[in-house]
Structure 1
Amino acid sequence: MKPAPGVALRIAATQTLGVVLQRQRSLKAELAQRLPTLRDVRDRALLEAIVFTAIRGHARYDAALKAWIPKPLGYRDEDLRTLLYVGFAQIQMGLPAHAAVDATVEATRAMGRTHQAGMVNALLRRALREGLPEVANDAAWPAWLRTRVRRDWGDAASVVFDASTTPAPMWLRVNRTRVDRDAYRTRLQDAGIESTAPGFPEDALRLATPVAVSELPGFDDGLVSVQDGSAQCVAEALAPSRGARVLDACSAPGGKSAHLLERDPTLRLLALDIDPQRLRRVRETHARLGVGSNAELRAADAAAPDTWWDGVPFDAILLDAPCSATGIVRRQPDVLLHRRDTDIDSLREIQARLLDAAWTMLAPGGALLYATCSVLVEENAAQVDAFLARTRGAVAEPLDARFGRDSGAGRQRLPGEDGMDGFFYAKLRKA
């Protein structure tokens, strides 16, 4: 017999979460496959919310299971553990008991674990009565990464850890080539969507409550994009001169290059990415926003310009470098599950190679913006300091406090500051 709709959704959430937790699959990739199979947009939103909440809260759930179960669950019970996470997540979200408990207990039976349904019911009802145990906000962070963040930021590390436990706000970037920001804000208000317009960045709107993209007026017509405020600051920091020749060295999924073109359609922009599949997303993004005719797209390795570069220097280069993504944990909580200590050294080597290669392609007097969504000093300020030390004619150009706190030659915004994601920016000028 086919499970009831609520039960089927809990099973789908358990399967999605299990793949991320046990098989180390990307949450974003798994949701991209799973969500389209749900016909009701409300079911999609609920599944996504449950899984995100469960990953953020798994340290609390582990503490509950450790305290409440005399005998720890074994490796054969990983799917049961994941189902309990799904139940605890619903309780944490404040769902009614009949949804959080009853449907999850029925899902236990539907998954062939009828003999454990009573235990699931008891554990979830205990969580309802007593609440889930409180744990430190850094409990979900692996010890090696927690140590690095504390070393880098001292007392301010709590800002990073606190932000990682809460959902990120939804930011929009208004396409100035198609609509004025104030006019679009009025359209949002007419649709019952409240927003605020910050003084910086100037194309941004921040929603009071996240909504489905399908609810955004004119999204399919390219009036607006979903992009965090920190990512929008990239175009503000690089600020190429009108009509400049620009390279976006690691361009996928295309939001930052599109923003540059929205600000100045006369730019001669080359959007580069090493992955042809990801470059397809750049093309789709540019097409939706109406800037596709203004950019050249090429699948190539920015760290190996001798394989593709025509020798004509660029006036401005954006290097949004591969990084640990530790500044966007609240958006991608599975970063804490998948990142390994050894990854950081590998990423630093890639970043250094990209910096050195990009510099060879920059025209005298040109600007290179090095940016990451990391909070680790070794990927950011220390990486830039090392580059400046080994590179003749490279000068750091100061950015103002709108881009975050001072950090070496650049600026670092920690996650949650100004409501934005964690991001680092350093602007380098070739003398």
Structure 2
Amino acid sequence: MSMALAQKLAAQSIAQVAEGRNLQDVLAGIRAAHPELSAQEAGALQDIAYGSQRYLGSLKYMLGKMLKKPIDNPQLESLLIAAMYQLHYSRNAPHAVVNEAVESIAKIGRGQYRSFANAILRRFVREREGLEKSCKFNDTAKFNLPQWWIEYLKNHYPKHWNNIAASLQQHPPLTLRVNRRLGDAEGYAAKLAEAGIEARVLDDYAITLAEAVPVGRLPGFSDGLVSVQDFGAQKAAHLLNPQNGWRVLDACAAPGGKTGHLLEWADCTVTALDIDAGRLKRVEDNVRRLGFENRADLKCADAADLDAWWDGKPFDAVLADVPCTASGVAKRNPDIKWLRRPADAAKTARQQELLLDRLWQTLTKNGTMLLATCSIFAEENGQQLEKFLNRHADAVCTESHVLLPNKHQDGFYYALIQKQ
């Protein structure tokens, strides 16, 4: 395996995220441009790219402690951060990591940074224990979050902010949802044990794995026995609680985890919308794998443009899983921490308003809409709910939940709203 290639491409991803690009999109572009990548190289690229974003606050802080002045060359800085991540968090031989990084850096600016990079990385190897201890004196380095985000958490979650900040640094668990039509968590845990996969039962139909494995290793995955879905995301179907014979709308359905769960829950029909045809294909694949293609009507459309997709026949229930800052899933997508800005939550909340108002029109009297976000920012959650109730005299909130990120789940918000 070429460590140099994985390291170099991961450094490219760090530089592109710093310019404001989404890490998933960046990595998809890199893989498309490098079809020659082996499975090992692709795995190493993924690890360095995601790991560098997860710990970017501490990596940049430790780098800064070793510098006399800031680095003004993004390519140089990104390669140093990628190498420091490997030195600090991977099992790669330190001398190999340093040598590969120095050789890549030697190609920048006619070799003028070679000796500088060599000195910095060797110093990091010698002093990293002390540098790591120094991180506890800087909030961004300690929690790997921007300072404004830490202040926001302290403000809105004074009792829980420390736990939330710590949770957002963790690796996300791989959690499974057992298809209730085909089994339960206890039974599936036994199948996992037979396959040599360690797991823990979370509730009647949810299981978390001790370590992530490829879905191909999961017993019965291709037969729809089980799906990958965060434990917090599984709460949506519980709350909406569709009944047999209902017509359900799943707005903004991709990638289809909640769509599949609704169809498993009851003999209902689900209209699943997504504005992106590529993402809608993932919903289709999910529904087909579960064997529910006859009860799912998939439409590529803007959910707010009712004329483009709605036939005027009201729905018994609407899952309004609205676009948001995704602040609650930052441990799964660590670049979110560095891409978001303080005003973003208010901006997305304004965009959500039109969509929610339009979706409300499609709901039958006495029907239920579930407002759902994967955010922990109040502007998109409790404050959004309050504004919605003020705009709609026929709307009553029957229950709402803030699910904070922890070792079992990402962060979510749910509000169940009944139309009177």
Scaled by the length of structure 2, what TM-score is found?
Answer: 0.90
Residues 88-99 of structure 1 aligned to structure 2 (within 5 Å) = 88-95=84-91, 96-99=93-96
Aligned partner of 1:308: which letter?
Answer: W
Change (3 A) 1:366 1:353: same
Query: Deviation at 1:269?
Result: 0.8
What's 1:45 paired with? 43
Q: SS at 1:337's partner residue?
A: helix
2:239 is the counterpart of 1:237 = yes
Q: SS at 2:405's partner residue?
A: coil
Residues 251 and 257 in structure 1, CA contact (< 8 A), matched pair in contact too: yes
User: Deviation digits for residues 128-164 of structure 1, max 9, x if unmatched?
Assistant: 2222441545454344443333221123222221112
What's 1:250 paired with? 252
What's 2:411 paired with? 422
State the identity as a percent.
Answer: 38
Residues 244 and 268 in structure 1, CA contact (< 8 A), matched pair in contact too: yes
Residues 138 and 161 in structure 1, CA contact (< 8 A), matched pair in contact too: no
Q: SS at 2:82's partner residue?
A: helix
What's 1:160 paired with? 164
Change (3 A) 1:59 1:193: same
Query: Deviation at 1:325?
Result: 0.8
2:102 is the counterpart of 1:105 = yes
Change (3 A) 1:387 1:165: same
Q: SS at 1:231's partner residue?
A: coil
What's 2:116 paired with? 119
Aligned partner of 1:28: which letter?
Answer: Q
Any gaps of 5 or more consecutive residues in structure 1? Answer: 399-409
Residues 139 and 147 in structure 2, CA contact (< 8 A), matched pair in contact too: no
CA–CA distance in structure 2, aligned partners of residues 38 and 291 of structure 1: 37
Change (3 A) 1:9 1:194: same
Q: SS at 1:154's partner residue?
A: coil
Query: Deviation at 1:52?
Result: 1.3
Aligned residues: 410
C-alpha RMSD of matched pairs (Å) = 2.3
Residues 159 and 414 in structure 1, CA contact (< 8 A), matched pair in contact too: no
CA–CA distance in structure 1, aligned partners of residues 180 and 42 of structure 2: 31
CA–CA distance in structure 1, aligned partners of residues 140 and 196 of structure 2: 36
Change (3 A) 1:375 1:384: same
CA–CA distance in structure 2, aligned partners of residues 309 and 191 of structure 1: 46
What's 2:151 paired with? 147
User: Deviation digits for residues 170-203 of structure 1, max 9, x if unmatched?
Assistant: 112223344543343233223322111112xx32
CA–CA distance in structure 2, aligned partners of residues 371 and 290 of structure 1: 26
Query: Deviation at 1:271?
Result: 0.4
Scaled by the length of structure 1, what TM-score is found?
Answer: 0.88
User: Deviation digits for residues 78-125 of structure 1, max 9, x if unmatched?
Assistant: 111101111111122142324433333343346676443333233223
Q: SS at 1:242's partner residue?
A: coil
Residues 252 and 303 in structure 2, CA contact (< 8 A), matched pair in contact too: yes
Change (3 A) 1:111 1:219: farther
CA–CA distance in structure 1, aligned partners of residues 419 and 288 of structure 2: 33
Query: Deviation at 1:44?
Result: 2.4
CA–CA distance in structure 1, aligned partners of residues 90 and 290 of structure 2: 38
What's 1:402 paired with? none
Aligned partner of 1:90: which letter?
Answer: Q
Change (3 A) 1:187 1:40: farther
Residues 57 and 146 in structure 2, CA contact (< 8 A), matched pair in contact too: no
Q: SS at 1:419's partner residue?
A: coil
CA–CA distance in structure 2, aligned partners of residues 304 and 154 of structure 1: 40
What's 1:27 paired with? 23
Aligned partner of 1:152: which letter?
Answer: H
